[in-house]
Amino acid sequence: MTAALVLPILVFCVVAASLTAYGYVRFVRPGRLYAQLADPFGPPQPLVMMPGKQVLIRAADRIGRYIPCSPQEADATRRELMAAGYRTPNAQHVYYGLRVLSAAALFCGTLFLRNYCPNPVLGTVLVVAGAAAGWALTGIVLEKRIARRQERLRLSLPDALDLLVISVEAGLGLDQAILNVSQELALTHRELSEELGLVSLEMRAGKRRMEALKNLADRTGEEEIGRLMAILMQSDRFGTSVADALRSHSDGMRVRRRQDAEERAGKVGVKLVFPIFFFILPSMMVVSAGPGLLQVFKHLFPMMKSFGQ
């Protein structure tokens, strides 16, 4: 009786402690940090956000500083990291260090598995493939993060356009309108708020508006933001109405989003063919034809045996 009570209490305590720790790390601690900073844009996003990874980051930073790379490759990597939201000065070194550590980890793992491979040639190929996969794994993760962030920026762009149109029509200048939109979107669309805040900071630092808008398009790599920045630069160059240009671009973007949704809806039928054929159809055949086949086997096999005798 005592053991039956102790086990549920122990499980409950473990689950409660796990949920409390996760809630503190995921919600309470970042909330206190942002409240202390009182900054609408927040600190730049580090390369690894999980707690307890400071040692790994420092090791990757030290290793990445010794990896040689050409200026063209370094510039391309820096652009990819900025598109993923990593703008810290050591982000590039940490990225290269993580690639080396990932390749070394998979190399050691496949080297251990090589002992269980009967073919030595296949074992050597396995080790080389493991090291190459470890080196490419970090790049694949970075590409996924870039695509995910660009999608969030693209989905948050209509709200920013509406706020820009309202701010410009209310009498604000374009610079002040961008700053106002970045402050208003700090809670709902954090990524776009950070990018627009950087545009405002660059213009305050003395950069021309066209140059700051061009830097925004280059940093994000998102096509919709590139089109919007091109429209703003053309309006600034030729002196046309910014509100009319933003409104027409917003209407065109909504039309494109509706067309994309219709295109995705049209592809659903084709994408469902294979899941239906491989997963749903066999179960339906078993449910519908299974009882009949059982009856056939039940009566047919004894009949065949009687015919044989």
Q: Which residues of 253-281 are buried (b: 16+ CB within 10 A; e: fewer)?
A: beeeeeeeeeeeeeeeeeeeeeeeeeeee
**Residue 165 pLDDT:** 85
Q: What is the DSSP letter of 279?
A: I
Helix %, strand %, coil % for the chain, to 5?
Answer: 85, 0, 15
36-65, pLDDT tens digit by residue? 444 444 444 444 444 456 777 888 888 888
Q: Determine the 3-state secondary structure of 43 from DSSP.
A: coil
Q: What is the DSSP letter of 88?
A: -
166-200, pLDDT tens digit by residue? 888 888 888 888 888 888 888 888 888 888 888 88
C-alpha to C-alpha distance for 123 and 233, rounded to whole angstroms: 58
**Looking at the predicted structure, is the pLDDT value of residue 32 above 80?**
no
Kindly report each contact of residues 208-215 with a partner whose C-beta sits within 8 Å and lies 24 or more positions away, as own/partner: 209/174, 209/175, 209/233, 209/236, 210/236, 210/237
Contact 233, 239 (CB under 8 A): no
